[in-house]
Structures are given as C-alpha cells and as structure tokens.
Amino acid sequence: MPKLDRSPLPVAVEHDVPMPMRDGTLLRGSVHRPADGGPFPALLMRTPYGEDSFRTAPVTPALRAGFAVVLQHCRGRGSSDGEFRPWADEGADGHDTITWITAQPWSNGEVVMSGMSYLAGCALQAAATRPPGLKAVVASMTPHDFHDGLKYHGGAFALGSALNWGAFQTMLGLLHAAEAGEDVGAGFAAILPVMGDQDAVARTLPVGDIPGIPWWRDWTSHAERDAYWEELAETLRHDRIEVPVMHVAGWFDLFLAGTLENHRRLGGPLVIGPWSHLAPGASGTGRLFFGAAASGQAIGLEQQELAFLRGEDTGPAVKIFVMGDDVWRDEEAWPLDRAVETSYYLHSDGLLSPRPPTAYEPATFTFDPRDPVPTVGGPTLLPDPTNVGPQDQRDLERRPDVLCYSTEVLTSDVEVTGPVSVTLHAETSAASTDWTAKLVDVYPDGRAMSVIDGIVRVTEPSGIFTIDLVATSQVFKAGHRVRVQISSSNFPRFDRNTGTGRSGATEADLVVQHQKVFPDSSITLPIVPR
C-alpha cells in the first residue's frame, strides 16, 4: 500500500483584510500564510469576479511551495470599496498592494503574481509600474492591448465577448452597490433583459444603443485606436516590465494573439495547449477530445508555474500541443524556425492548391447583413459555453454566402505550426465590408472541423487584404483535406458590417453586399517538414 510522507501544514487565514490605496480607497482580500515560521514570499492574485473566482486559486499548492497567498478583490468588486473601471486602475492598485504586502511582518519583501485573463492583465499592469519587491509573473490567456485583440479584431468590434463580459461585469457592479445600500432598481431593469437574451440584443442597431452596460458607448464609439485607447495602453507598457514572465495560451482562446504578442515582447517560457478561455487546461475542446495527456494536469502545469515563480528552471523555452498527432512537443522558440511558409491558392473552381491559378475568373457571393453567417465554434466567449473551439462546419458550408476551397485528399500528414494568414484579393459593391476566413480540417467521414478564423474590416471597394488567423499547431492527417472558408460575417462573434461605411446605421440602412474573390488570393501555411 502506498504511503505518502506528508506532514500537517498549519495555516493562518484572515478574510476581508483592508489594504489602503494611494487615493484612500480600501481594497480588501484574504491572506493565507503558514502559521509557523516566516517571513515568506507572497503570491498575489487580483480579481474583478468576486469571491467565487478564487475557489480554484492554487492556495494549498502555493502554501506548500513556501508562499503566503494574498487574494484581493479589484476596486468596486467583492468586498473592496470604490468604483470598478475596466483596466483603468489595475496598475496603480497592484503597485500599492505590493507595497502593502512588503510592509507586513510576515513578508520577506518578495512578491510574485499570477492569474488568467483579466487577472493576468492585472499582474502585467502592476509589473509595468515596476513596484519594488515584485519578482515574477505568470500570465495566462490575456490580451496584449485593450483595443487590438480585445475589443476590436481586424477593425471589427468583438461584439459577442464584449456583450457577454460587459453584461456580467455590470451585474457584479449592481450586486456590489446593492450590498452597499444603494438603490439599483433602474440598473437591474436595464441589464436583466440584456442578459436574458443576448442573441437578440446583439442585433441592436446602431450597436452603440445596447443599454445597461456603463462602458458600452466608450467601447463602441472609439472604433479607431484614438486617445481613449492610448490612455488605457499607458497602463500596460511592455517596455517598462522588467521581471520575468511565463505565458500560458490556448489554441482556441480568444486571447491567443495577445498571449503570443506578450511572449514576443517580454520573452520567458511559453506553453500552448488545445484549450479555450472557459476551459483552460482541459483535455477536450468543442467537439474534439485530444486525449487525457492534453490536460494541464497531465503536464504538471500548476507545478511548472509555481517553480517558475520560485525562480527555478522550468525546462524548455516553448511547449506546444500538436493537434492531430495529439502530443506535446518541446521547442526552442516560437515561431518555429524550421516551418516553411507555403502559399495555397484559392482557385476559382474551389481547389486549394500550392499551384498558382491559371484561370482568373472571380468567385462571387452576396452577403446580406440581415442574415449574417452565424458563429459556429472558434475562439469565442459567448453565453453558450459549448459554442467554442472545433465545431462541424457543414451546415455553414451549405450557405450561398460561404465560399469553400479544399485541397485534394492528402496522401501524407501535413503539419501546420505557426502564424497563419490569408491574403485576399477581393472586391465589394458596398462602401464598407468585412472579409472573414476560416481554416478547416475535413475528415474522411465528411466532418469539417474548424481550426482557426479571422476577420478584417475594410472601406476600400477592392484591393489586397490581409486576414490574420493568428496561429495554430494542427496536423492534417493523411486521408483528410485542408479547407479554407471565405465569407463576410461571423456573428455574433463580430458585429455585422452594415455596408454603409458609417457609424450609426440602423436596420433600415443595411446594404446588401455583392462580393468577388479572385483566385490569386491565398492562405499562408507554416508547414513543418516531417
């Protein structure tokens, strides 16, 4: 019978500990530390999601690793005072919290930070203020910028995620205000219908008229990167971050581009698994199961993160999960130097081939924004948590406004690992339009499973446009086919392009868009020799 050599770990815990910020606002959190010994380094995590989000925090592993653990609520959330302003206060508040921690008698003066999504953003924003005592950060699945890759992708508004997250944060704010004794009846009356049927609300035009969310007009009225976004960007200056950072990403995470860009700018270890935003570390995503070995638990990810925070060697610089082969692989760097960028052309007859086209008649379709192509899978953050990751695209491919280009059946495995983009030679009849692209793995049984997708919003009637599909590591197996879908919408992941070229368009203003795609268009696939 196995016997574990484990001794009891007495722990001292304080809840709702007040931590004063520079403006006098009291933020609160819980402090967990070994009851004996010390002083200790501290692991700090900051959340805008309330106490529930801390129930999965690695408190016990961190305590056993020798850390005290501080779990703090962002201002205006949980038990903290103040007003929550997305991203605006996290750098200064993180700095002040670290200053508070290092002054405590149980602290040895060293602090590390960790988190996923907004929590990781809190850590990076704090690191950008260079607080004395901060030693390292683990940042998982978080954007690198608050405009590009968070609220806007290729110029299109990330409607689905903004609406879902904004409504949820609004509800948390109302509950916080109600606990403080404020009258929040009007706020609930505005937001409950939004939360009750987000699919219907997403069709609101102008999109800026969606009610109830305090920051909605700020997000929707600043489509371009202007002073509003530049002010927020000053809270996340990568050039000011000096501490080592470990990055964790998911192939189906909506912040994959942000995490990869954080890694490019900051260096440090990088782990990319076959995960989505709401299921980090899982062994299956969407309609595919990648095997038990695909999970974060299988590779000891939590232990790797704690080892990194302790300053220990965590092994290879890059660890990626190669889908299709369904194996983990260590790499020296990202992107892979040995990957060969290969163009596959979108032939007029629907063939996808590395051979350049010989006929140049365009493929055509008509896009009506009254009937947009629905979002089916991908890197989403929608109310339906099952509409994410790899999903069968066959129903979409029957639509007349979705063009499909497919290779011949593969006679050997083809590995695509690295950044992927589409160069689209296209033309529209409208003043503005969107061009969308999706990479698809077609199985021998006919399933057409999505891999990655992207969008670009344009105001030129014709031209050469680049659609960024971010990146993947996908082996298209022998017997499969590689497919590219081209269309003009992916709704509600992105807002509908009204075709008018102006903001404020209503349902009555929607313009039917007649589209042409020329066969010198191509997808660039980073193919790894095997």
Give the three-class secondary structure for 301: helix
**Known active-site residue 117:** yes
Token reading at 441: 């793995």
Buried b (16+ CB within 10 A) or exposed e, 233-265: bebbebeebebbbbbbbbbbbbbbbbbbbbbee
Which residue is associated with the tokens 């380094």? 41
Report how far apart the first and last C-alpha atoms of the chain are (Å, whole number).
45
The count of residues in the chain is 530
Bridge partners, 327 (sequence order) = 322
Q: Which of 117, 140, 406, 522 does the annotation list as catalytic?
A: 117
The rounded Cα 357 to chain-centroid distance in angstroms is 36
Q: Which of 89, 145, 253, 468 does the annotation list as catalytic?
A: 253
Give the three-class secondary structure for 207: helix
What is the rounded CA–CA span in Å between residue 415 and residue 205? 42
The rounded Cα 379 to chain-centroid distance in angstroms is 7
Q: Is residue 10 classed exposed, middle or buried when 0-12, 13-18 and 19+ CB atoms within 10 A define those classes?
A: exposed
Q: Which amino acid is at 376?
A: V
Q: Which amino acid is at 530?
A: R
Q: 427, 461 in Cβ contact below 8 A?
A: yes
What is the rounded CA–CA span in Å between residue 216 and residue 40? 42
| Selection from 72, 233, 75 nearest residue 150 by Cα | 233
In order of 277, 389, 412, 442, 443, the CA distances from 404 in angstroms are: 28, 19, 22, 11, 15
Q: 307, 314 in Cβ contact below 8 A?
A: yes
Token reading at 139: 């940042």
Token reading at 255: 């912040």
Strands (E), 412-512: 414-428, 433-442, 448-458, 462-476, 481-487
Instruction: List CB contacts of 96: < 8 A, sequence separation 6 or more.
Output: 19, 20, 21, 22
Token reading at 304: 């790797």
Strands (E), 181-309: 245-252, 270-276, 284-285, 288-289
Bridge partners, 320 (sequence order) = 272, 329
**Known active-site residue 343:** no
**Known active-site residue 277:** yes
What is the rounded CA–CA span in Å between residue 316 and residue 267? 13
Instruction: State the chain's maximal CA–CA distance in angstroms.
Output: 77
Q: Which amino acid is at 463?
A: G
What is the rounded CA–CA span in Å between residue 261 and residue 144? 6
CB atoms within 10 A of CB 284: 18
User: Which residues participate in catalysis according to the annotation?
Assistant: 117, 253, 277
